């Protein structure tokens, strides 16, 4: 889209079209939903969404290019969190999208599966050595 208005998202200039395209995919919405206000390791996305790591990483890279998420490496693990855009219009779009996910049954199931993955006495086999998400204490209190 030539001449598209650009907005500042995640410290870089991103077109509104890029932001909306990033939010127009069901898998990417599920990833945003799982992150909530916390930081999650890629391994949890793979386990909860029951898909392969390359697919998850591809979608996370798309969200990163759009400035919707940020990443942090910790040894072998990559952790992602939602980035609130500094542009008020972009922030409002993201806020509304995230709010709408709360009523979606599939998104609710994903969050429940994440709780089980993080807080179960016996972690899912593939998550045995994975770092626990930062919000695990909060989740355990709610159980």
User: What is the secondary structure of 98-118 as a DSSP string?
Assistant: HHHHTT-HHHHHHHHHHHHHH
| Domain extent at residue 30 | 6-127
Mean pLDDT of 56-84: 94
The per-residue pLDDT for range 88-120, each reduced to its tens digit, is 888 999 999 999 999 999 999 999 999 888 765
Q: Is 26 a domain residue?
A: yes
CATH code for position 106: 1.10.10.10
Domain count, the chain: 1
- Among 2, 1, 15, which Cα is nearest to 87's? 15
Q: Is 138 a domain residue?
A: no
The mean of the pLDDT values for the chain is 82
pTM for this predicted structure: 0.78
Q: Is 141 a domain residue?
A: no
Q: Is 136 a domain residue?
A: no
Q: Is 67 a domain residue?
A: yes
- Give me the pLDDT at residue 121, please: 45
Q: Is 79 a domain residue?
A: yes
Question: Is the confidence at residue 10, as pLDDT, over 90?
Answer: no
The pairing of beta strand 77-82 with beta strand 40-41: antiparallel
Q: Is 137 a domain residue?
A: no
Q: Is 27 a domain residue?
A: yes
- Among 73, 64, 77, which Cα is nearest to 28's? 64
């Amino acid at each position: 889209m030539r001449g598209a208005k650009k907005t500042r998202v995640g410290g870089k200039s991103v077109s509104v079209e890029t932001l909306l395209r990033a939010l127009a995919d069901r898998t990417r919405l599920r990833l945003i939903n799982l992150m909530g206000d916390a930081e999650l390791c890629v391994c949890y996305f793979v386990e909860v969404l029951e898909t392969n790591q390359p697919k998850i990483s591809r979608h996370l890279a798309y969200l990163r290019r759009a400035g919707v998420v940020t990443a942090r490496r910790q040894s072998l693990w990559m952790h992602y969190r939602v980035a609130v855009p500094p542009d008020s219009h972009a922030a409002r779009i993201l806020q509304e999208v995230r709010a709408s996910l709360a009523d979606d049954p599939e998104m609710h199931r994903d969050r429940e599966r994440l709780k089980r993955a993080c807080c179960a006495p016996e972690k899912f086999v593939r998550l045995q050595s994975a770092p626990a998400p930062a919000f695990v204490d909060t989740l355990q209190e709610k159980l």
